[in-house]
Amino acid sequence: MTDNEHEIEQPDERVPKRVIGTPAPGTSLLGEAEPADEDVEVPGVTLQDEQKARKAERIVALCFFVTFLAAVAFIISYVFFQVGSPESTGVSNLALGGTLTLALLGLAVGIVVWVRQIMPKYSLVQERHPMVSPADDREYVADTFVRGANESGFVKRKLLRRTLLLAAAPLGLVPLVLLRDLDNSKMPGARFNKTLRHTVWGEKTKDGKPLKLVVEGTGQPIRAADFNSPGGILSVVPEGYEHDLNALAKATLILIKFRPEEIKSGVNQNWTHDGIVAYSKICTHVGCPAALYEQTTHHILCPCHQSTFDAADGAKVIFGPAARPLPQLPIAVDSEGYLVAQGDFKVPPGPSYWERGDAEAEARAKGGQA
Amino acid sequence: MTRITAWRRHPLARYAVLIFALALVGMAYTAFAQASQPADAALASGRVDDVAEGKALFEAHCGSCHGLNAQGTGTGPTLIGVGAAAVDFQVSTGRMPAADPGAQAPRKPQPQWVNEDAIRKLGAYVQSLGQGPTVPSAEQVDPKLGDAGKGGELFRANCIQCHNWAGAGGALTQGKYAPNLNESSPTQIYEAMITGPQAMPVFNDSTITPEEKRSMIAYITQVREQKDPGGFGLGRIGPVTEGLVAWIAGLTALVLSAIWITAKKRQKS
Amino acid sequence: MSELTTVPKAIGGPSNYLDERLGAGNFLKRNLRKVFPDHWSFLLGEIALYSFVILLLTGTFLTLWFKPSMMEIEYAGSYAPLRGVMMSEAYASSLEISFDVRGGLLMRQMHHWAALLFVAGMTVHALRVFFTGAYRKPRELNWIIGVLLLTLALAEGLTGYSLPDDLLSGAGLRITEGVAISLPLVGTYITFFLFGGEYPGEDVIARFYSLHILLIPGIILALVSAHMVLMWMQKHTQMPGKGRNNHNVVGAPFYPAFMAKAGAYFLFTFAVIAGLATFAQINPIWLFGPYTPADISAGSQPDWYMGFLEGALRIMPSWEINMFGTANAGTLPLSVIIPALVPMGIIMTGLALYPFLEQWVTGDKREHHVADRPRNNPHRTSIGISAITFYGLLWLLGANDEIAANFHVSLNWTTYVGRVLIFVGPALAYLITYRMCLGLQRYDAGVISHGVESGVIKRLPHGEFIEVHTPPADDIEAHVRGKRPVLMLPVDDDSSGIPPKGMRGPLGKLRGLMSKAYGGEKIPLDDGHGDGDGHAAIGEGSDDHTLTR
């Protein structure tokens, strides 16, 4: 409700409380105006001292002139400074940003001085009216609504009303149905769990061999004999999937070399080779790569939310919000001495989800360690 | 009054003296800091007399924690087999000899007896106890010979989880931390990778080759020498400092301007 | 130059043309001299408004080069240390904007700084409205719009933060996915639908892009307009003061004074954002490298407005339950769900419901146009400070790794301390704030009854020294006297010991208790010495009241 409604009802109350300092209601603002009578003292409007105003005008003018110069300098800088290297881009950024800032500041300061020292000081009073509409209006609206509802026949004609509702219901679903293909795989929801559990470590190469572990960033396969410094780690990805982000989001590993005596009972020894253990790098909390490894304590720390896992003891959680250990990948060496995957993780890597279930307990029940 | 006395009594004189003194201290510091920079010179595994002198140094400065024969004690690990590279890293960064046992030995100024020569001798002695990684040659760590693009990929895969994308360092568990890389020389970076000092894991040469390590060094040095094109780098630690600046500088400036715009001169009654 | 006597032709002509077609003259007649009250805190919301305008301007510039595609290409642009690296087109085009487009880096940085100030401006504006009670009738609806805007701003920030597809924004995206997939029942559906399949897929950048540049800003724009229209119609609240009451508004006219002030403030906001973009580097994506789900950096943080969620995730203990046994669906990762939903839920729902809860407790259905001074509604102020403490602690803990690294404290201890502080902090803040409010009220009562300290020491005939108090200036007195007691429900039992209607059930009893605590006048202004203990403080036995006049 704008003040408009009030005006229609009580034209005299609306504006007519003539705000001090505003033109009289009769004055046309858009056409001819009556001569300004600036000498008349209006309450609430205190004119500035002309002497001071004249001084202020000079300051304002100076500010505006600064803006003019800065804006010109901006255009010149644009033409003059090229970008490319961090150095040249830095110079360009400084020149363009500096001149733009100065131009805007000049204008801002100028206007503030103008308002504060040239325009009059105002303390005008305007009346407020309660927001609620007058009782008459409300009654009229209510009556009109009832009359319209009856005239339309919507109330009386049941068939019309019900079929309209019937028509609207499926129409409302249309946009929702249209969103179904947001999932490009179009797989039924029942298969989500199976998909999430599966990683490419369960795949074989074209000639039917298990996937090699390769170094992230170089793609080199890893000879177990080369990865021989205790306290060493490597970030490892599956052979052939080095740039497949979907595969990496579940299959990236952290490969750790231990002295044999350091390994505790939490680690499944059958899945290791010569003190080399592979864990999923994807944190079981919300999926950041948990990759900060301290070789003295064997702690793996996730930098996002500081879940800490004991790598020497099956990567069980010793601190932070993650609830489950990092899954261990069964690894072995092939005939040439390269590290390969024995198969997929036995439990789903990465963050938990509703359909997951307690896969660790399940795996234990089946006999293997998780 | 002579002219000099007049100058001396000039109101700006004290500032001039202050600036001069500051400049002098600054220059002295720079000279000193440069002097104490460990040279990248290759320290080949030493001659026989180096080993003997190294043993003497070891007994005097290291033996109390690491044992007189470097066999290790309750306060310091064994150094048999750690190699000359570990000695060079630990001693040249001032981490060893450690001042006091804490979560982690910090980088600090070297004690007076430490110089290139002493480090080489110590290294030769430790290397003689059991073969370990040796100090890399100048060519092995020359950033100019590395491929920064390739090195960047390896840096992101292996280093930034602890040391941050720009080598600014970060926190580890229980008060330990990954130090800032930007004070480390290329040699020290290389040595840290092959020896795994303190909590840091080892990246041996057979899985990450020396050429790859050199590329990583190339990336690290290139990025740290690079000017920040967007203004002050804010420590290159990301959104935390950015948020602080937005609130402390940005919002404060805007609140002050709001106060100025709306300020009233109190009418004197 | 002489002054105008008539409207110049250049303005009169077009105005006439428009008026004949739109009838705008009537509107202008009523509104050109609309009065706006003056107070610095009334400009805080404008920070958000103007930041939004700057976001639209700079954002449009960025769209001219940005490619919302996750296709992998080899970088061949100007930034040498990344040349030859495989990356998404989105990241490559963000690098292009930064290094190959003149002014591109400036615009990118201005966009990001403006985003930070947009949310910061909304936050301080919301706090101002809260603490002055400016959300009270008739402004509850505008308050709700404001809460919606704040929520949308967070969504807008989240989607925008992810677009450059650098390693840092990717970490944020991964956490978003981890949170989404943890939701019971619908989690996997939401993630598969959002990412077009498994994370990260090839669609999410394009989808976030259309949300970020079209859908969310469209809704924000509509809501901002509604926010402005309501403010205009209802007229701004004013601070208590001389000649100001619930039935008027005192201040400067829209034309020309307020218009100029608002224009100047827009320019200030613009200048501050441009200045930050010139001198302070923000989101240097070239240092982060391209996104891959295999890598992460130390110090991966969200922008400040997501920091409280990050902090909540960090201090949560590792709780996870399987509701229906081991092999079945029904996994509830509480260590994700609770921190992701509860703090945000408490804060946003609490904000949205507060006006209605307060009305329910106080029974105050009156219109309010004069703002409260925060001290004059001590429980509200305490609740607000308590909420700020809660939010602020979570925010701080979202940066606990930086705190640990830079101040050399143990990371683990920041978490342990945080887990305790998150409960103790808000409670302490409540108590302290409540006491401070009463103290300030007492001080106000003192000003009214004794005046203000003049700094003049006088020796009385019997040897006692006293400080002469002078009556406060008119405007200060009017400001202080603007205090109105907080309404209270009629809670007292009637003569036969029966509680009034509506206070009989357990809920009613609670309502009565809360009303009694929340409402009422704690320290009346005119009781002479403010709660009785002021007397002793001023000087034993002297009738200082007489000395003030």
pLDDT in tens, A257-281: 999 899 998 898 899 998 999 999 9
Query: Predicted confidence band at B54 (pLDDT cuts at 50, 70, 90)?
Result: confident
CA distance C346 to A256: 43
DSSP A49-86: PHHHHHHHHHHHHHHHHHHHHHHHHHHHHHHH----SH
B72 reaches A (C-beta below 8 A): no
The number of beta carbons lying within 10 Å of the beta carbon of residue A219 is 12
Is the pLDDT score of C493 beyond 50? yes
Facing residue for C412 by CB, picked from B173, B246, B261: B173
Q: Cis check for the bond before C138: say yes or no (omega within 30 of 0).
A: yes
Identify the burial level of A130 via C-beta atoms within 10 angstroms of its C-beta, where 0-12 means exposed, 13-18 middle and 19 or more buried. Answer: exposed
Q: Do C269 and B254 touch (CB under 8 A)?
A: yes
Range name among A62-76, A251-265, C459-473, C515-529 with the lowest pLDDT average: C515-529
CA distance A291 to A236: 11
Phi, psi of A181 (to 5 degrees): -80, 10
Closest alpha carbon within chain A to C398? A305
Q: Do C99 and A84 touch (CB under 8 A)?
A: yes
The count of structural domains within chain B is: 2
Tokens of C91: 């990241």
CA distance A241 to A211: 10
Mean of pLDDT values over A288-307: 92
Mean of pLDDT values over C244-256: 92
Residue B1 in domain: no
Residue C183 in domain: yes
Note the Cα A236 to chain centre separation in Å: 29
Chain A CB contacts of B229 below 8 Å: 86-87, 89-90, 93
CA distance B124 to B134: 9
C62 reaches A (C-beta below 8 A): no
The number of beta carbons lying within 10 Å of the beta carbon of residue C343 is 19
Which residue, C252, C334, C277, C212, is CA-closest to C38? C252
Facing residue for C86 by CB, picked from A82, A104, A243: A243
C94 reaches B (C-beta below 8 A): no
Which residue, A222, A241, A255, is CA-closest to B208? A222
Mean residue pLDDT of chain C comes to: 90
CA distance A337 to A226: 10
Residue B178 in domain: yes
Chains with ≥3 CB–CB distances under 8 Å to C: A, B
Beta strands in C166-322 (DSSP E): 248-253, 321-322
Is the pLDDT score of A12 beyond 50? no
For residues B162 and B71, state if they share a domain.
no
For residues B130 and B145, state if they share a domain.
no
The number of beta carbons lying within 10 Å of the beta carbon of residue C207 is 17
Is the pLDDT score of A25 beyond 50? no
- Single residue among B135, B163, B181 that ends a domain in this structure: B135
Facing residue for A112 by CB, picked from B170, B178, B260: B260
Those of residues 258-277 in C touching chain B at CB distance below 8 A are 261, 264-265, 268-269, 272-273, 275-277
Residue C304 in domain: no
Residue C469 in domain: no
Q: Which residue has the higher pLDDT, B111 or C15?
A: C15
Residue C517 in domain: no
- Which residue range is the domain that position C224 belongs to? 46-238+254-293
Q: Do A293 and B157 touch (CB under 8 A)?
A: no
Tokens of C174: 């991964």
CA distance A211 to A203: 7
State the pTM of this model: 0.88
Is the pLDDT score of A181 beyond 60? yes
CA distance B261 to B246: 21
Range name among A324-338, B126-140, B155-169, C489-503 with the lowest pLDDT average: C489-503
Residue B29 in domain: yes
Residues counted in chain B: 269
Identify the burial level of C521 via C-beta atoms within 10 angstroms of its C-beta, where 0-12 means exposed, 13-18 middle and 19 or more buried. Answer: middle
Is the pLDDT score of A16 beyond 50? no
For residues B118 and B153, state if they share a domain.
no
CA distance C251 to C211: 41
- pLDDT at residue B33, as a whole number: 52
Q: Identify the helix (H) or strand (E) that includes residue C461.
A: none
CA distances from B46 to B42, B54, C217 (A): 11, 10, 69
Is the pLDDT score of B247 beyond 90? yes
Radius of gyration for chain A, computed over Cα atoms and rounded to the nearest angstrom:
38
| CA dihedral sign, ordered A159, A160, A161, A165 | positive
For residues B94 and B189, state if they share a domain.
no
Closest alpha carbon within chain A to B233? A90
pLDDT in tens, A82-119: 999 999 999 999 999 999 999 999 999 999 999 999 99
- Single residue among B89, B117, B135 that ends a domain in this structure: B135
Q: Which residue has the higher pLDDT, C326 or A338?
A: A338
Mean of pLDDT values over C257-276: 96
Identify the CATH number of the domain in which residue C208 sits.
1.20.810.10
Q: Which residue has the higher pLDDT, B79 or C98?
A: C98
Chain A CB contacts of B103 below 8 Å: none
Query: Predicted confidence band at C526 (pLDDT cuts at 50, 70, 90)?
Result: confident
CA distance C388 to C426: 8
Residue B5 in domain: no
Facing residue for A30 by CB, picked from C12, C243, C314: C12
Identify the CATH number of the domain in which residue B57 sits.
1.10.760
Residue B11 in domain: no
Those of residues 117-146 in B touching chain A at CB distance below 8 A are none
Q: Do C402 and B162 touch (CB under 8 A)?
A: no
Chain A CB contacts of C138 below 8 Å: 131
Q: Cis check for the bond before A35: say yes or no (omega within 30 of 0).
A: no
- Asked if C367 and C246 count as a contact pair (C-beta separation under 8 A), the reply is yes
CA distance C129 to C36: 16
For residues B144 and B243, state if they share a domain.
yes
Residue C89 in domain: yes
Residue C200 in domain: yes
Q: Which residue has the higher pLDDT, C327 or A334?
A: A334
CA distance C185 to C331: 9
Chain A CB contacts of C194 below 8 Å: 182
Q: Do A84 and C275 touch (CB under 8 A)?
A: no
- Asked if A7 and A14 count as a contact pair (C-beta separation under 8 A), the reply is yes
C404 reaches B (C-beta below 8 A): yes
Residue B2 in domain: no
- Asked if A339 and A237 count as a contact pair (C-beta separation under 8 A), the reply is no
- Which residue range is the domain that position B129 belongs to? 17-135
Q: Do A184 and C400 touch (CB under 8 A)?
A: no
Tokens of C224: 């901002």
A97 reaches C (C-beta below 8 A): yes
Chain C CB contacts of A114 below 8 Å: 260
Radius of gyration for chain C, computed over Cα atoms and rounded to the nearest angstrom:
29
- Asked if A66 and A100 count as a contact pair (C-beta separation under 8 A), the reply is no
Q: Do B162 and A235 touch (CB under 8 A)?
A: no
CA distances from B163 to A276, B166, B200, C396 (A): 24, 8, 11, 21
Q: Which residue has the higher pLDDT, A202 or A2?
A: A202
The number of beta carbons lying within 10 Å of the beta carbon of residue B7 is 11
B182 reaches C (C-beta below 8 A): no
Pairing between strand C452-459 and B177-178? Answer: unpaired
- Residue that the structure tokens 């002098």 belong to: B24
Note the Cα A237 to chain centre separation in Å: 28
Chains with ≥3 CB–CB distances under 8 Å to A: B, C
- pLDDT at residue B266, as a whole number: 53
Mean of pLDDT values over C316-327: 85
DSSP B94-137: T-SS-SS--SSPPP-PPPTT--HHHHHHHHHHHHHHS--PPPPP
The count of structural domains within chain C is: 1
CA angle (C435, C439, C444) in 5-degree steps: 150
